[in-house]
Structure 1
Amino acid sequence: MRVRRIGKVTAKKPFSCKECKKSFRDAFHLNKHMRSHTGEKPFSCKDCKKSFNQIPHLKTHMRIHTGEKPFSCKECKKTFRHVSSVNAVKTHMRTHTGDKPFSCIECGKCFCFNSLLKTHMRTHTGEKPFCCKECDKCFRHVSHLKAHMRTHTGEKPFPCTKCKKTFNQTSSLKSHMRTHTSEKPFSCKHCDKCFRSVFSVKTHMRTHTGDKPFSCIECEKSFCFNYLLKTHMRTHTGDKPFCCKECDKSFRHVSHLKAHMRTHTGEKPFSCKECDTRFRFLSGLKSHTRNYTGEKILPFPCKECNKCFRHVSHLKAHMLTHTGEKLFSCPKCKKKINQTSHLKIHTRTHTREKPFSCQECEKNF
């Protein structure tokens, strides 16, 4: 006679695990559980030889090779691979419903997924748990670490379909693609100047805020942009990485090299609108146009001694004689000097170079 059981009945579990005391209804489930302690993985994938401790896990893994995704979202038809993705489908539905059940206790910001909340919390705690083994730089997101690692490996897996140039990040590729489309979707609220990337807008904003986060460790001069600091540092190190192939003359700035090259090519890109006289350098054109505008031949006066200069760069160099500031240091003896021309003369005491000779007695100086 069949006995009808009323209410909730807890089945007996006579098979218990000696490691963790967890109980099971039969020996089959106990043996399957024991693999979590022994580490045994008897079920192997034929395609990649990866092993698993349960057949269902192997079946789920096989979908990586077959491409099968049997669980789908009814709203957007997005598909999912795993049996556990039944829950993933429910979680995914929040992107459609707008449900954000996970809120930050610090700022009240809400998120669709708990994983996004955990990642967000690092902006408050400052935690950066993902560290690069090459340079010890740390990141809040594992995706940021993966992208950073490409700076070490040189990997650039994202190619431009227009010019075949490759990039190490999708964001860099997207920004680059706008050079082909001329799209500049990000605009500055202060001057309406437009940019290809959000990063460019943030960097540009320093020209309005006056923020100068990059400081020189030698003279504490500050700059808006890191590339300006790097260029400035060459005034201290004496580094001149841009060399002319024609005469081996070196320059601190690539723009100076380009201007110098005109002395070899004879190019004169700057022309006077009044008389069509052409000049190699913009400074030459400006000096020439003062003949027509009536502007002072020496338009840049020193406020300390009223001495006047033709170029603002000459005025800046002159001002150092008043401030006593010495921005240039000798790479050999670290002596501080206030002008590059004086630094050149000083370095000859180390090199013993004497480039000037007397025409009468041929003595060198």
Structure 2
Amino acid sequence: MIEEDEDFNIDDPESFYMSDDSLDLVKNGGQEEIKAKKFFTCEKCEKVFHQVGHFRRHLLQHTGEKRYSCPLCDYKSIDAGGLKKHVFNHTGVKPFTCDHCHFSAGTIYHLKRHLMSHTREKPVGCRFCDYRCSQLGDLNKHMLVHTGEKSFVCIECDYTCSRACDLRKHVRTHTGEKPFSCPYCEYRCKRSGHLKSHLVRHSKMYMCNICNYRGLDVSALKGHLQTHGLQD
């Protein structure tokens, strides 16, 4: 059972919620004394925190207050960490790199999610069948197989689907839109998967035969070859 300290104050780290099982016996100089573990419990959702900083940040989710603003767009975040992750979208910086391949990510969360593709870890399972996956989002998509729900409808024809991304792909068959473009040539396509397949051609085209260097274009490769004492 969790009891509320009558003197609890969010700005006072010494005030906290204490549960009956949050007491430890600590030996001090041969004598046992009781030391209390400090828990911070949200009144809205009863989630428990051990650090007051995490507790304060969590409370902002309920108040909707977003103190941190992006200087480049209208994005706002409840904490500095969220803003820092967002800014990577503008700068293109991806500081978290995979030790097994060339993948890099803007957040540690996305790197951890990627690493599961190497370990083949699938901690999330379906309660209706043997399907397992590494992401909760993938499980949510899979569940539509069991429910049969198709809530996304094309306004141009009778096409219906269970995922928004599938509807977007379908709509392009009507509009002819090709939103995915190659940064190295004039190639454009309707699907990101097609662009990824196309980019492989570029990555394999400008490889150094002496080391692992890969250039984005011929001129970059020629410049690199000079480091090996070669002209072309």
TM-score, normalised to structure 1's length? 0.40
1:311 and 2:194 are equivalent in the alignment = no
1:182 to 53, 58, 64: 64
1-side partners of 2:53 and 2:106: how far apart? Answer: 23
Aligned counterparts, 1:27-176, within 5 A = 157-176=39-58
Task: Call closer, same or farther: CA 1:251–1:320 in 2, change over 3 Å.
Answer: farther
Displacement of 1:312 after TM fit?
1.0
Report which stretch shifted further, 210-219 or 273-282: 273-282
Partner in structure 2 of residue 272 of structure 1: 154
Give 5+ residue unaligned stretches, structure 1: 1-154, 325-365
- Residue deviations 1:191-241 (CA, integer Å, cap 9, x gap): 131111122222222222322221111114221100111111122222222
Secondary structure in structure 2 of the residue aligned to 1:184: coil
Residue type at the aligned position of 2:61: T
> For residues 309 and 240 of structure 1, what CA distance do their matches in structure 2 show?
32
- Conserved? CA contact 1:271–1:278, under 8 Å: yes
Matched with 2:127 is: 245
Q: Matched residues in 1 for 2:153 and 2:89: separation? A: 31
In 1: Cα distance, 2:95 partner to 2:183 partner: 29
Matches within 5 A, 1:267-306: 267-275=149-157, 277-295=159-177
Residues of 2 paired with 1:156 and 1:278: CA distance? 52
SS in 2 for 1:239: coil
Q: Give distance in 2, aligned partners of 1:156 and 1:276.
A: 58
Deviating beyond 3 angstroms after TM superposition, the runs of 4 or more aligned structure 1 residues are 273-277, 299-310, 317-324
Specify whether residues 295 and 179 from structure 1 end up closer, same or farther in structure 2 by C-alpha distance, changes over 3 A only: same
Displacement of 1:158 after TM fit? 0.6
Cα pair distance change 1:307/1:224, threshold 3 Å: closer
Structure 2 spans left out of the alignment, 5+ residues: 1-36, 205-232
Q: Evaluate the alpha carbon distance shift between residue 244 and residue 317 of structure 1 in structure 2; reply closer, same or farther with a 3 A threshold.
A: farther
CA RMSD after TM alignment: 3.0
* Alignment partner, residue 31 of structure 2: none
Partner SS, residue 287 of structure 1: helix
Distance verdict in 2 for CA 1:322–1:241, change over 3 Å: farther
1:276 deviates by 6.4
Cα gap change, 1:259 to 1:206, in 2 (>3 Å)? same
SS in 2 for 1:246: coil
Where 1:263 maps in the other structure, the secondary structure is helix
Q: 1 or 2, which has the higher strand percentage?
A: 2
Shift of 1:262: 0.4
Q: Give the drift of 1:176.
A: 1.3
User: Whole-Å Cα distance in 2 between the matches of residues 238 and 202 of structure 1?
Assistant: 30
Once residues 308 and 205 of structure 1 are traced to their aligned partners in structure 2, the CA distance between those partners, rounded to angstroms, is: 27
Partner of 1:201: 83
Q: Does 1:214 align with 2:92?
A: no
- Residues 172, 190 of structure 2: 8 Å contact kept: no
Of structures 1 and 2, the one with the larger relative CO (CA 8 A, separation 6+) is 2
| CA drift at 1:291 | 3.8
Q: 1:219 to 1:160 in 2, by over 3 A?
A: same
Q: Which amino acid aligns with 1:211?
A: V
1:318 CA drift (Å): 5.8
Q: How many residues align?
A: 168
Report the CA distance shift for 1:250/1:311 in structure 2 as closer, same or farther (over 3 A). Answer: farther
Counterpart CA distance in 1 for 2:118 and 2:138 is: 18
